[in-house]
A and B are shown apart, each in its own frame.
Chain A
Amino acid sequence: MPLLSLITFLPLLGVLFLLLVRGEERTVESNAFWMALWVSLVTLFLALLAWFTYDRTLGGFQFVEEREWLPALGLSYRLGVDGISLPFVVLSALLTPIVIVASRMIQERARTYMILFLVLETLMIGSFCALDLFLFYIFFEGVLIPMFLIIGIWGGPRRIYATFKFFLYTLAGSLLMLLALLALRHTQGTSDITWLLENAQVVSGLQHWMWLAFFASFAVKIPMWPVHTWLPDAHVEAPTGGSVILAGVLLKLGGYGFLRFSVPMLPEASVDFAPLIFALSAVAIVYASLVALVQEDMKKMIAYSSVAHMGFVTAGIFTFTREGVEGAIFQMVSHGLISAALFLIVGVVYDRRHSRKISDYGGLVNTMPRYAVVFMVFMLGSVGLPGTSGFIGEFLVIMGSFQASGLLAFFVASGMVLGALYMLSLYRRVIFAAPSDGESAKMEDLSPRELAFFVPLAVLVLLLGIAPTLLTSVSGLTVDLLLESEPLFSLFHDSTAAGEG
């Protein structure tokens, strides 16, 4: 059974059905919701099937599919997942139904909205499954289009500015990456990622240029300082569902890119540029945390916290240690759950009084006790409290960073303090502080529908925090394979030996 193709294209099939629905507008929209929900739930089921049938004793690609596609162009259709990509496939499949449930109340053009999210799901999952350079590129860039539309149609008042900024940044990055992909194809003679992972050898000078080209794209996507300024604007203007997918999955494409392309295929350049990554990550963590501290807009604050949390990811990947890389993957998955939940949390109060300003709220613990509890769980996850998934990622990255440099570890760990500062301040002002006016006192607590999407996320955050082996048993061997792959292994160990000598 071509499981991965099914998972990837099932949402697209759903889109086809959605397009065919006819009738009265109200019914169409309601049907669209249910149809989208079911399609995404079946996709999730299939993704979980892949998760549970994945052989954890092997590190390489599984469920591999290969078809001739355009032989004249040397292009083939190749899908497969390994311990690095599978978690993100499941994450994408999990967040889509959640977003659909969360968007039940969308009034305007609900059908189009559902269609776009299903298209987005196909493209996201495709990006993580693709084992051909150009197939990957199509998915990777294609993701942006539905995202632009989602922000552009259902976004806030400054949506045009936000999408334009988003567009400019990513365009610059993606053009350069395309060049790098072409160069890779040209020098190695194939676009097969499986082959490239093991055998890619690019001459030194070109390798560094190619690395920079990849870097341009992935750094924007993840995003790293100083190319992060599109993110807060995009989040602020995006509708809740858009923010959830943006923070939950799209940012991870950057980290995934580093792990899939930069590190294994361009190992020499990766080692050489690691100090640059470290510096930018350290700056991102401290800078973004401090900026988050002074935000008055909840979404902006969480957006900046994402930049800081992604700093952990980039730092972890380029330590080339088992703990650092695994921590980075864990941090990405964990952030996918926690930041998604935090944007949903903002969405809940935004739905009720149409404001994202922190100072408009207060005293919600009295009127929305269930909300306060849910918020607490994810606040603690974001702060990286042990027992939540947020801790495992941050802690492993600190363990890895210390092996690379004590100074880096210090900056990374300082994110623990600053993160606690802004998140606890936010929580205190929204949940505990005296209500700003009578409006907050009238707000209703979480509905069963809202609990339905918070509870699974909360359970996962706690479960992964207490039994992280659930995830590391999948990712572990692949990370070993990545770090022990001949080019990187020899290079890195030579360079450390040289560093000590």
Chain B
Amino acid sequence: MLVALVVFLPLFGALASGTFGRRNRSLANGLAVVPMVLSAFLAVVVWLTLPETPIRQELFPFIQSGGFAVSWAIYVDRLTAVMFCVVTLVSAAVHVYAVGYMQEDASPSRFMAYLSLFTFFMLALVSADNFVQMFFGWEGVGLASYLLIGFWHHKPAANAAAVKAFVVNRVGDLGFALGIAGIFVLFGSVVFEEILPLAADVAEVQWHFAGLSFDALTVTCLLLFIGAMGKSAQLGLHVWLPDAMEGPTPVSALIHAATMVTAGVFMVCRLSPLFAEAPFALEVIAVLGALTAFFAASVALVQNDIKRIIAYSTCSQLGYMFFAAGVSAYGAAMFHLATHAFFKALLFLGAGSVITALHHQQDIRSMGGLAKKLPWSCAALWLGSLALIGVGVPGVFGLAGFYSKDAIIESAWAAHSPIGSFAMAVGLVAAVLTAFYSLRLLLLVFHLPQDTALAASVRAEQAAAQLDGEHSAHGAHHHEDAKEADASGAHGLDSHELDSHGSDSHGFAGVRESPMVMLLPLAFLALGAIFSGVFYHHEFVGDHAHEFWGDAISLAHDPLLEAHGKIPFWVKVSPLVAGAIGIALALWLFMRNTALRTTLATRFAGLHRFLLHKWFFDELYARLFVRPAWRVGEIFFHGGDKNTIDRWGPDGVSSLMARSGARLRKLQTGYLYHYALWMLLGLVLLMGWILFSTTAGAN
């Protein structure tokens, strides 16, 4: 009952707010926020009273097709309970924050309903006891994400980003769906409780294809991982996440930082007994995770949009979680997932507070010296950044990221494998970059004085781009517009709302700190960012891990647990050192030797461009997939349907008939009734003759 309430209260909130809140703003807010807060409260109760054996509550049958039988159910074990808490707590904070953030928006009930709907889908995902319900939640959160990215539908870039997010996720889901099919073929079931204990039994099964044989479980796990890559924005399928920042900031905090994007990590952990039997798949996950951590951090170094910087940071941190899972440290992956949810949501909401204060200005080049104007937002972003960098004193106290990132690096080391060492090395480099881009953001936004000339040129650029965007949207080139938008997806800054009275260059005269309703959630998340690590590291990755997790995740090969705390000192402090290097570098380049920055940017112009264009992924995909899809479509349509099939088929026949005599031509151009009549007549004659002949034959 309790667990059902946790899941269904947000759905109730969504329906109620969406239906009854349309006329009344406070009703819309109240109908969504109250059930959500209640759900969060109950989730904590579930967490505190979790029994040792998982709770399973079956609702009603879902798909029943022979052996393929699944039900709607709510399944809560420790893993689900962790997700319940993370999702509902962050969601409740974001709901409250959104009341303030969206107070000038025209359709608050729609926004609140979408947020609650998202939460429902996410809870359905994490409480699934089978693949199909998980897929339902999985695509459901994708739908909510699509709706919320495109929430401001008057912005062409927002619509393009929404479509892009959905379609790229669908590419991942293709892998997921095929993976589920693979599971069904291997196990004859898609219910977790029935298949996970049997993973070892199918480890030897081979599939033959094109004369080669493949390890069935490895193939299946890799297919499932493709799904995880899409949802969790891993290298290759990450392209939608930065663009998703077109959505309102509370959305970015909840969906594109704290919860939905971690669904892939959750999935791998949920299926950890399966992945444990597919070592090659794990290696792929570890390598891709490490590469993503590095790639995204490198891109974040040079971006200028405050939200995009944090988005790439999210992408990078998700990479950490995956390489933790890849070295079988599922506990560490989940730990980082949980702590990251708090400090990343804090970062996003803090950034949102800055953005609203500046009337939707997001370019950090036009900001500067805001620390005094926005002290609370500044504190939130500092705290979030320090937690992200992982600041702490070993053995005494640290912020959330200090414990979880440490656990990941140590796990990678303790794996004692080439892949583990690679992941560790890449992870440390990424940690340096993380500290650097975090400091860069903080310094440029809050502490360094605004560069007025640069700010003016940025604003002029934005205005021009916006004008351009409007022009193209009104023009007759819808088709091209759609193509291009999907192709590049990255309109960059062209559509960010600009306000004429926005950040004026005279020291931000009108800038005011956000209202209490937005600051309180920040404070709540700050508590999480400070304490979630120190309170729970014994349970997630430490001495109590076995009792804590039970059978919820596979601890069989957890490198950290196998090492029994015997981690060399240098490994323990290496993430801290990496963070310190990054911080020092940033301070040096931005506070002391600012000229060097320009020198570096010109000296390594190619590299700078490469990073600024995000390694040219969007351009590459546009060339490889998007434009060819339309081109091939045209070729099929004109070359295939019109000029081949029709030409030699029906059109050919009709022209042949036209040439073969006037009577037939009359038929062709004549009255339609004639056709019908002819058909009927032909039918009757034929039937008559044939029936006659067959009965004659039968006699």
Give the interface of A toward B (CB within 8 A): 72-75, 134, 137-138, 141, 144-145, 148-149, 152-153, 159-160, 163-165, 167-169, 171, 175, 178, 182, 185-186, 189, 226-227, 229-230, 232, 287, 290-296, 322-323, 326-327, 358-359, 362, 365, 380, 385-387, 391-392, 395-396, 398-399, 401-403, 406-407, 409-410, 413-414, 416-418, 420-421, 424-425, 428-429, 431-434, 436, 466-469, 472-473, 476, 480
- Kindly report which residue of chain B lies nearest to residue A166, judged by CB atoms: B650
CB pairs A–B below 8 angstroms (12 shown): A74-B694, A138-B687, A163-B675, A164-B654, A168-B653, A359-B476, A387-B136, A395-B177, A402-B181, A420-B166, A424-B167, A434-B156
Question: A359 contacts B478, CB within 8 Å?
Answer: yes
Q: Which residues of B contact A417 (CB under 8 A)?
A: 167, 170-171, 174
- Report how far A175 CA is from B679 CA in the complex, Å: 11
B143-161 contact mask (Cβ, 8 Å, vs A): 1 or 0: 1001000100100100110
CA–CA, A287 and B632, complex, Å: 9
Residue of B nearest to A480 (CB): B66
A436 to B60, CA, bound (A): 47
Neighbouring B residues of A295 by C-beta, 8 Å: 637
Cβ-defined contact, B482 with A164, below 8 A: no
Question: In the complex, what's the smallest C-beta–C-beta distance from A356 to chain B, in angstroms?
Answer: 15
6 nearest interchain CB pairs? A152-B672, A402-B181, A322-B66, A290-B633, A386-B136, A294-B633
Chain A nearest CB, measured from B396 CB (Å): 48
How far does the Cβ of A130 sit from chain B's closest Cβ, in whole Å? Answer: 14
Complex alpha-carbon distance, A141 and B60, angstroms:
42
Q: Which residues of A contact B63 (CB under 8 A)?
A: 392, 395-396, 468-469, 472
State whether A476 touches B629 (Cβ < 8 A): no
Give the most central of B476, B629, B634, B654: most A CB within 10 Å. B629
B167 touches A420 (CB 8 A): yes
One of B60, B66, B637 near A323 (C-beta < 8 A): B66
Whether A322 contacts B68 by the Cβ 8 Å rule is yes
Question: By the criterion CB–CB under 8 Å, are B646 and A229 in contact?
Answer: yes
Are A469 and B61 interface neighbours, CB within 8 A?
A: yes
Contact status A230-B181, CB under 8 Å: no
Contacts of A182 in B (CB 8 A): 690, 694
Write out the residue numbers on chain B whose beta carbons fall within 8 Å of the beta carbon of A227. Answer: 649
Inter-chain contact B672/A148, CB cutoff 8 Å: yes
A223 to chain B, nearest CB (A): 11
B686→A178 contact, CB < 8 A: yes
| Cβ distance A302 to chain B, nearest Cβ, rounded Å | 15
A residues in contact with B569, CB < 8 Å: none
Contact B482 A168 (CB under 8 A): no
Alpha-carbon gap, A169 to B207, bound state (A)? 41
Which B positions have Cβ atoms within 8 angstroms of A? 60-68, 132, 135-136, 138-140, 143, 146, 150, 153, 156, 159-160, 162-163, 166-167, 170-171, 173-174, 177-178, 180-182, 184-185, 207, 209, 470, 473-474, 476, 478-479, 481-482, 486, 629-630, 632-634, 636-637, 640-641, 645-646, 649-650, 653-654, 668-669, 672-673, 675-676, 679-680, 683, 686-687, 690-692, 694-695, 697-698
Known: A380-B143, A413-B178, A469-B64. A229 touches B641 (CB 8 A): yes
On chain B, the residues within 8 Å of A414 by CB distance are 174
Distance of B102 from chain A, by nearest CB (Å): 18
Asked if A294 contacts B634 (CB within 8 A), the reply is yes
Task: Determine chain A's interface SS by DSSP, over half rule.
Answer: helix
Does A399 contact B180, Cβ atoms closer than 8 Å?
A: yes
The minimal Cβ–Cβ distance linking A84 to chain B, given in whole angstroms, is: 14
With a cutoff of 8 Å between Cβ atoms, the chain A residues found around residue B60 in the complex are 467
Task: Determine if B174 and A290 form an interchain contact, defined as CB atoms under 8 angstroms apart.
Answer: no
Query: In the complex the two chains form, what is the Cα distance from A358 to B654 in whole Å?
Result: 31
Name B181's contact: one of A326, A409, A472 (CB within 8 Å).
A409
Contact of A75 with B177 at beta-carbon distance under 8 Å, contacts A291-B637, A420-B170 already known: no
> In the complex, what residue of chain A is closest to B207 when comparing beta carbons?
A406
Q: Which of A141, A169, A403 has the most CB of B within 10 A?
A: A141
Q: How distant is A229 from chain B, measured CB to nearest CB, in Å?
A: 5
Q: A141-B683, A365-B153 are in contact. Are A402 and B67 (CB under 8 A)?
A: no
- Choose among B156, B160, B170, B668 the residue that contacts A164 (Cβ–Cβ < 8 A): B668
**Once bound together, how far apart are the Cα atoms of A468 and B71, in whole Å?**
11
> Do A421 and B691 touch (CB < 8 A)?
no
B residues less than 8 Å from A175 (CB atoms): 686
Rounded to whole angstroms, the CA-CA distance of A480 and B64 in the bound complex is: 13
Question: Chain A residue with minimal CB distance to B672?
Answer: A152
CB-nearest residue of chain A relative to B640? A287
Alpha-carbon distance between A182 and B40 when the two chains are bound, in angstroms: 69
Q: Which residues of B contact A467 (CB under 8 A)?
A: 60-62
Q: What separation, in Å, do the CA atoms of A141 and B140 have in the docked complex?
A: 43
Asked if residues A476 and B65 are in contact (CB atoms below 8 Å), the reply is yes
B479 contact set on A, CB distance < 8 A: 296, 359
CB of A180 to closest CB in B, whole Å: 12
Which B residue's beta carbon lies closest to that of A359? B478
A74 with B185: CB separation less than 8 A = no
Contacting residue for B697 out of A186, A402, A431, CB 8 A: A186
Cβ B184 vs Cβ A399 within 8 A: yes
**Residues of B close to A138: CB separation below 8 A:** 687
Distance of A219 Cα from B432 Cα, bound (Å)? 62
**Measured between alpha carbons, how far is A443 from B683 in the docked complex, in Å?**
47
Residues of B within 8 A of A466 (CB): 62
**Contact B650–A168 (Cβ < 8 Å):** yes
Q: List, in ascending order, chain A residues with CB within 8 A of B474's CB.
A: 434
Whether B669 and A385, one on each chain, are in contact in the complex, defined by CB atoms closer than 8 angstroms, is: no
Residues of B with C-beta under 8 A to A296: 479
Q: A186 contacts which of B177, B637, B694 (Cβ < 8 Å)?
A: B694
A166–B10 CA distance with the chains assembled, in angstroms: 51
Q: Is the CB of A165 within 8 A of B650?
A: yes
- Docked pose: A431 CA to B147 CA in angstroms: 13
| Cβ contact within 8 Å between B653 and A476 | no
Least Cβ–Cβ distance between A185 and chain B, in angstroms: 6
Partner of A421, one of B167, B180, B185, B470: B167
Pick the residue among A326, A418, A425 that contacts B486 (CB under 8 A). Answer: A425
Q: Is the CB of B679 within 8 A of A145?
A: yes
Apart from A164-B650, A226-B640, what are 19 other A-B pairs with CB-CB below 8 Å?
A137-B687, A168-B649, A294-B634, A326-B66, A358-B478, A359-B478, A385-B143, A402-B184, A416-B173, A425-B482, A428-B150, A428-B160, A428-B162, A428-B163, A432-B159, A434-B473, A468-B62, A469-B61, A473-B64
Answer whether A149 and B143 are a contact pair too, CB < 8 Å, given A141-B683, A396-B68.
no
By a CB distance below 8 angstroms, the chain A residues around B181 are: 398-399, 401-403, 409
Which residue from B64, B67, B632 sits with its C-beta under 8 Å from A290? B632
Q: Which residues of B contact A232 (CB under 8 A)?
A: 641
Q: Once the chains bind, are B478 and A293 in contact (CB under 8 Å)?
A: no
Q: In the complex, what distance in Å separates the CA atom of A421 from the CA atom of B479?
A: 14
Residues of B within 8 Å of A399, CB to CB, are 68, 180-181, 184
B150 touches A432 (CB 8 A): yes
Q: Which of A178, A226, A287, A395 has the largest count of B CB atoms less than 10 A from its CB?
A: A395
A472 touches B136 (CB 8 A): no
Q: Which of A175, A290, A418 has the most CB of B within 10 A?
A: A290
Per the bound structure, the CA–CA distance linking A163 and B670 in Å amounts to: 12
Minimal beta-carbon separation of A439 from chain B (angstroms): 14
Separation of A137 and B338 alpha carbons in the complex (Å): 64
Complex interface: chain A residues within 8 A of B150 (CB): 428, 432
CA distance A410 to B566 in the complex (A): 46
Contact partner of A395 (CB less than 8 A), chosen from B132, B153, B632, B683, is: B132
What's the nearest-Cβ distance from chain A to residue B176, in Å?
9
Cα distance A232–B645 in the bound complex, in angstroms: 13
**Which chain B residues border A433 with CB–CB below 8 Å?**
156, 159, 473, 478, 481-482
Alpha-carbon separation in the docked complex, A302 to B672 (Å): 26
CB-CB under 8 A from A134, the residues of chain B are 687, 691
Looking at the assembled complex, report how far the CB atom of A256 sits from the nearest CB atom of chain B, in whole angstroms.
19
Q: Which residues of A contact B65 (CB under 8 A)?
A: 322-323, 326-327, 396, 472, 476
Closest to B168 in A: A417
In the bound complex, residues from chain A placing their C-beta under 8 Å from that of B64 are: 468-469, 472-473, 476
Q: Give the contacting residue for A402; candidates B185, B645, B680, B690; CB below 8 A.
A: B185
